[in-house]
Structure 1
Amino acid sequence: MTSSSQAKIADAIAKDNLVKLMLKLTPPGIIGMLLISLNNFIDVFSAGRFIDKNALAAISLALPLTSLVIGFALFVGVGSASVLSRSLGSGDVNIQAKIFGNFTLLSVIISFFLTILGYIFSQPLINFMGGSGEIADLGVVYFQTYVLGSLFFILAIGSSQLIKAEGKIPLATIFSAIYVFTNITLNLTFVLILNWGVRGIAFATVISAFVYTCVNWTYFLSGKSSIQVNLKRLAFANKNLTKQIISVGSSVILMHSIEIVQLTVIYKSIAHYGSDNDLAFVGATLAMYSLITTPLYGFVQALHPVIGINYGGGFYERVKKAYLTFSIGGTILSTILWLPLQFYPQFFLSWLLPNFDFTATSLLNFRIVILLLPLISFIWCSIAMFQAMGKGKIAGILIVNRQLILFVPVILFVPIWFGVNGVYYSLFLAEFLAGLLVVYLTFREFIKLKIV
């Protein structure tokens, strides 16, 4: 892409009407994130529909561990994207030229250690998540196969963040679509035709990630990106640049790391107070919650370059307006998606558990988990705003409090009195408390920028 073309995109992000900008950037972002999220949903769907409930439970146990791989991809990708978008806003061509080398080298180093450690310690990790017997064995098979593709996941998903940071979200969405449709095709082939079971599901995802990497890198190597790519100069450009990437990216990997702790506590609590059926139900509940909240990530992805470019250019009032515009837009969409789930939960949950005996209590628990869904966009947009502004420490504070400090004590004690139901009550209560903290820290930041 020519510098003048990129300058036009940056200028539009800095000056266009924010509602129109949201409507322009968010739909492809939503589609892209839905497509990416579909990969996990496809894995769970294939296991529950075409194998059995033990396969679904096994993959559900392994998904928090696979999310750590995705977390490292976003660690490098979001960190690099934050630096890139701010450099586009300030016009720093020197920084833009150094991004890709840092991104690539960090990706290779991280994936090397992640692959080795993940494969070796797959059994104790699955056991730690609460797996036992056949469910644990299937979970190990799935995770070991998945983790062998760590390099492809990190390069593909990370480089996609760079494309979005340029403001080219529709293009990133097209590449994501190729990734997902490849996975769907291979999933059906490996599970239904070749009968490879859980291993086939993971293998399909790894091959799809390889294809995704090839597509993204073809774009960068073609010279159409604003980033200068020279494969002979893959090195850390300077300590300050690497430090900035790690600072912002740390909040992302922190979120995914703590999510593992969070989900481990959930599954262990369910295993302690309930049965295998309860494990299958909570797995389906969390998978459905993940799918239905995925469109909100479209708003977050679109908000990143808008905040980064405007903050880099010193347009602080526009930063605040962008945050509110995208947060309210996310609330409107999530409310539309939330209503059918509240009224007809069994219809949607039966997609994953077709022969499950749903009770009035279990359906009530599902409704409680998604009760605050319409307001969740404000939390996610706040975290995205701090990341895009390069304030990874504040984003980290929000993440740690939401997923650990406010969550773990509640879920450890509430189920003592309410059993399995208490796990679902805890999820609601922790989210509510996190929302209050978000309001405080976001408002305080606006005061610092003198835009309240």
Structure 2
Amino acid sequence: MARFSSEQLGTEPIGKLLIKQAVPASIGILVMSLNILVDSIFVGNWIGSVAIAAINVVLPVSFFIGALGMAIGIGGASVLSRALGAGRKEKALKTFGNQIALTILVTVSMVLLGLFFADSLIPAFGGKGAIFDYAKIYYVIVLYGVPFLALSMMGNAVIRAEGKPKFAMVAMIIPSVANLTMDYVFIYMFDWGMHGAAWATTLAYVFSFSYILYFFLSKNSELKISFSHFGLDKVILKEISALGFVTLSRQAVVSIIYLLLNNILFNLGGEASVTVYAIIGRMLMFALFPVFGITQGFLPIAGYNYGAKQYDRVRKSISIAIKYASLLASMVFIGLFVFPTEIASLFLGTPENATVQELAINAYVLENMPNAMRWVFAATPIIALQLIGAAYFQAIGKVVPALLLALSRQGFFLIPLVLVLPRFMGELGVWVSFPISDVLATLVTAYFLRKEMKTRLR
């Protein structure tokens, strides 16, 4: 791979730089999302539709613990990018060392707690009825690998902060390919069922961590730390925690939404409704990969140039990122509106030992998911502004607006809506809540971003 110095974040043309940063991020997110998507298709076809719902129950717990690493990674990456932009190399090294130590300490503690309270957490997140047994198997095995997931997420954010997006892309591709390969071997060839799906996921996390460890130990990384950098520094920890809290809060809200919707939908339509949401949840992760890629590519550019006080480049990066992301989001919107039935059918097979219940769930999903998906993605064309706007404040270290905007879409708007609308509209009320929250959050973000560009970045 061509060598790339972090200084280029402050010199190359913004359009070219954003493409250079965003394309590898988008490819990495695409492969990771495809992994989640195809993994669900394999599980649905080879184990059964209830197994998809079971994974959906486990995801918020495992992803929340993994997101601790992401939060520490993104929070520290903001500090690190600005330190590199300001020429403060020693602070960047100390920040990275503190990120590693904090990730290990926090995630291992959370995994131990998660295993201890497994039987209480699984039903709380909707793992009831026929879903529980599948979810318990998957939950316990996957939690063993979550610390590796957290370290991988943390390391990936730091790699991007260094301006090395291609390495970050490879770090996301490796576990995805490994997971799908092991899915085929463990589930299809060895017939391990849910155990196979869980071990494939866990081992994929280990592969990802192994590659990221290689990157930082090789000469590709500028961050060569020593044992002294692992000593926890209160000032740096405060910065990492404040900015990481934005990411963690957002993921916490996502986990709360899974908890609420799995339970609300189970009460409205049982396992079938939870399965509809599980598939839509996979599409939410997959379909918006180009928008998330632009957002990830934008973060180090904005952070570095803000640290270097090149505010004209920051303004330009915001404008170009929103344009690119909006165009891609609109293309996603069209595809999902045209082919929702075809998408639903991909997830639904008929295993040889399929029960009457599973066959009934399949029929329900095929009938109800297309309309639900159209509602959930109805406001997709405008979502880019909200994501880029929230990312900007996080990139420059403004904790309060970053936190408020990150939580606005799913926390301040979606949660109240899904608690109220289903009481009057039934299951439709759940799906309608998504576009309403998207529109409201985008309006709020547009206000704050416009104000920032007229004052701080003028």
Q: Shorter-chain TM-score category? A: over 0.9
1:154 aligns with 2:124: no
User: Within the alignment, does 1:364 sit opposite 2:360 as a pair?
Assistant: no
Name the CA distance, whole Å, in 2 between partners of 1:149 and 1:303: 30
- Which residue in the other structure is 1:140 paired with? 136
Structure 1 residues 16 and 224: alpha-carbon distance in aligned structure 2, compared to 1, 3 A threshold: closer
Asked whether the equivalents of residues 104 and 234 of structure 1 are also in contact (C-alpha less than 8 Å), the reply is: no
Q: Summarize deviations over 1:393-413 as a string: whole Å, max 9, x none.
A: 211111233222212221111
2:420 corresponding residue in structure 1? 413
Whether the aligned pair in 1 keeps the contact of 2:344 and 2:369 (CA below 8 Å) is no
1:315-326 to 2 correspondence within 5 Å? 315-326=310-321
Is 2:46 the counterpart of 1:50?
yes
Q: Which residue of 1 aligns with 2:91?
A: 95
How far apart, CA to CA, are the structure 2 residues paired with 1:177 and 1:450? Answer: 36
Residues in 2 aligned to 1:413 and 1:382: alpha-carbon distance in whole angstroms: 28
Contact 2:377 2:434 in 1 (8 A): no
* Corresponding residue SS for 1:225: coil
Do the aligned residues in 2 keep the contact of 1:236 with 1:242 (CA within 8 Å)?
no
1:113 is paired with a residue whose SS is helix
Note the C-alpha offset of 1:32: 0.9
SS at match of 2:159: helix
1:109 is matched with 105
Equivalent position of 1:227 in the other structure: 223
Tell whether the 8 Å contact from 2:175 to 2:205 is kept in structure 1 after alignment.
yes
Give TM-score, length-normalised by structure 1: 0.94
Q: 2:258 aligns with which of 244, 263, 277?
A: 263
RMSD: 1.8
Matched, 1:246 2:241: yes
Structure 1, unmatched stretches of 5+, are: none
What CA distance in whole angstroms lies between the structure 2 residues aligned with 1:238 and 1:52? 49
- Equivalents in 2 of 1:389, 1:39: separation in Å? 32
Match of 2:64 among 58, 64, 68: 68
More moved, 376-385 vs 42-51: 42-51
Letter in 1 for 2:53: A
1:246 aligned partner, one-letter code: S
AA of the residue aligned to 1:95: K
**Residue by residue, what CA displacement relative to the aligned partner does 1:222-248 show, whole Å, maximum 9, x if unpaired?**
233111222x33523522111111111
2:161 to 155, 162, 165: 165
Shift of 1:295: 2.2
Q: 1:112 to 1:321 in 2, by over 3 A?
A: same
Deviation, 1:361, is: 5.4
CA deviation after TM superposition for structure 1 residue 438, in Å: 0.9
Query: CA distance change for structure 1 residues 193 and 110 in 2, over 3 Å: closer, same or farther?
Result: same
Matching residue's letter, 2:408: N
Give the whole-Å Cα distance in 2 for the aligned partners of 1:104 and 1:193.
Answer: 38
**CA positional deviation for 1:326:** 0.8
Of 252, 275, 278, which residue of structure 2 is paired with 1:280?
A: 275
| 1:428 correspondence with 2:451 | no
Letter in 1 for 2:305: N
Q: Which among 388, 399, 402 is matched to residue 381 of structure 1?
A: 388
Q: 1:16 aligned to 2:12?
A: yes
**2:327–2:381: 8 Å Cα contact kept in structure 1?**
yes
In structure 1, C-alpha distance between the alignment counterparts of 2:92 and 2:415, rounded to whole Å: 41
Q: Indicate the SS of the match to 2:288.
A: helix
Structure 2: which amino acid aligns with 1:310? Answer: N
Equivalent in the alignment of 1:444? 451
Deviates more, 1:397-406 or 1:363-372: 397-406
Q: Which residue of 1 aligns with 2:307?
A: 312
- Residue of structure 1 equivalent to 2:397: 390
Give me the whole-angstrom Cα distance separating, in 1, the residues matched to 2:431 and 2:31: 27
Q: Is the 8 A contact 1:142 1:198 kept in 2?
A: yes
Equivalent residue pairs, number: 445
Asked if 1:349 is matched to 2:344, the reply is: yes
Q: Give how far 1:360 is off.
A: 6.3
Q: State the distance in 2 between where 1:171 and 1:347 align.
A: 34
Q: Distance in 2 between matches of 1:341 and 1:331?
A: 15
Secondary structure of the residue that 2:205 maps to in structure 1? helix
- Structure 1 counterpart of 2:149, one-letter code: F
1:69-122 C-alpha deviation (Å, 9 max, x unpaired): 231121111112111111111111121221331111101101221110111112
Deviations 1:146-182 (A, max 9, x none): 1111221111121111111111101211222222111
CA distance in 2, matches of 1:202, 1:47: 11
Structure 1 residues 223 and 450: alpha-carbon distance in aligned structure 2, compared to 1, 3 A threshold? closer
Do the aligned partners of 2:27 and 2:169 also contact (CA within 8 Å) in 1? yes
Structure 2 segments unaligned to the other structure (5+ residues): 351-361
Identity of matched residues, %: 27
Q: Are 2:123 and 1:127 aligned?
A: yes
Using the size of structure 2 for normalisation, the TM-score is 0.93
- Contact 2:268–2:427 (CA under 8 A) maintained in structure 1: yes
User: In the alignment, does 2:196 pair up with 1:200?
Assistant: yes
Superposed displacement of residue 16, structure 1? 2.2
Structure 2 CA distance, aligned partners of 1:360 and 1:197?
Answer: 27
Offset of residue 359 of structure 1:
6.2
Which deviations, in whole Å up to 9, do the C-alpha atoms of 1:174-204 show, x marking residues without a partner? 2222221111111111111222212221211
Cα distance in structure 2, aligned partners of 1:212 and 1:420 = 38
Q: 2:115, 2:143 within 8 Å by CA — same for their partners in 1?
A: yes
